[in-house]
Amino acid sequence: MISKNHIKLIRSLELKKNRKREGLFVAEGPKVVGDLLRAGYQPRILFSTTERPDAELITEEELRKISFLQHPQEVLAVFEIPTHHPSPLTSHLSPLTSQLSLALDGVQDPGNLGTIIRIADWFGITTIYCSLDTADAYNPKVVQATMGSLAHVQVIYTDLLELFKSLPPSYPIYGTLLDGENIYEHQLTQEGVIVMGNEGNGISEAVRQHITDKLLIPDFHTDGLRAESLNVAIATAITCSEFRRRT
């Protein structure tokens, strides 16, 4: 039987301030929870509606009381938020380093962030640097949208301006901008940072000053009738795909 204290704790973790205070986050579903467990994430609490040796058995009614999903998925776990992430871009940077990273400048929508984490995982990008005003990666909606990819991708919150200032002048920082060069014609490298901006305002002016390579995803309409813009997660997928296709 699930205790009132557990219900109270789990429901409180919907809010960022409580996740930060407790150092905990919620994950749901066999796929998401399983990937996090295999990646070494430590569960503080693990509930399941089916018998499994590592979980406390609860009823479907009890699961509904603690789940953040419209349709609860059998397993719910409370994990410890990792307290330390090495920064591969700055601490291991060398002429031999060949890696691609993402930087998110003010991405606000939890669904977009979760999808971008999943996209990064698909394209073998293991590190995402987030501005301090980007949505919280441990928001239940983000965790669910990653479909387990949070277990494979480091999400590091940092001051992007300080991060970019610490890089060698020759290190490429790509940004998707309306005044950029056609991504399908621009030279791309195997290393660098790809910056994606806020859903409504794009890349901030301060971050834009550090962009070394401006990229544009062109539209292919000839009649002038087109969508106003691309969703940031879709734009991220297109950009990452083109980098991987050519490098």
Cα(187)–Cα(182) distance, integer angstroms: 10
Q: What is the pLDDT of residues 118-157, one digit of tens each?
A: 999 999 999 999 999 999 999 999 999 999 999 999 999 9
CA angle 238, 243, 247 (to 5 degrees): 155
- Name the residue among 239, 241, 188, 245 with its Cα closest to residue 217: 239
Helix (H) or strand (E) holding 90: helix 88-91
**Under a CB-based contact definition with an 8 Å cutoff, are residues 203 and 197 in contact?**
yes
Question: Does residue 30 have a pLDDT over 90?
Answer: yes
Helix (H) or strand (E) holding 197: strand 192-197
Spatial strand order of the sheet with 56-57 comes to: 24-28, 75-80, 43-48, 56-57
Q: What is the pLDDT of residues 37-84, one digit of tens each?
A: 999 998 999 999 999 888 999 999 999 999 999 999 999 999 999 876
| pTM as predicted | 0.91
**Under a CB-based contact definition with an 8 Å cutoff, are residues 117 and 142 in contact?**
yes
